[in-house]
Amino acid sequence: MIKEKLGSVQLKEKGQITIPAKVRKALQIKAGDRLDLYVNEKQELILIKNGKVRQIRDLALEKLNKM
């Protein structure tokens, strides 16, 4: 589900993109942060701040262990 469009980027010759300031602010990311990239079955790119997936997994496992 798409929440809102925050901009668009252009792929540079060396395969690089610049993440727009509006996106960086929305995701609370800054220079030096690590980002995890995923592609879903619709060939959509998913960008997640490094460590968030691990936090979600750990929380889910904690809840399962309490059941």
User: Token pair for residue 60?
Assistant: 């889910």
pLDDT value of position 7: 87
Residues in contact with 40: Cβ distance below 8 Å, sequence separation at least 6, in sequence order:
46
Any residues with CB less than 8 A from the CB of 29 and at least 6 apart, and which? 19, 35, 49
pLDDT at 52: 66
Q: Quote the CA–CA distance of 67 and 65 in Å, as a whole number.
A: 5
Per-residue pLDDT of the chain (67 residues; tens, 9 = 90+): 778 888 899 999 999 999 999 989 988 899 999 888 888 898 988 888 877 667 777 788 888 888 7
Could you tell me the residue range of the domain that residue 58 belongs to? 33-65
Q: Could you give the number of structural domains in the chain?
A: 1
Could you tell me if residue 56 is inside a domain?
yes
In a domain, 12, yes or no: no
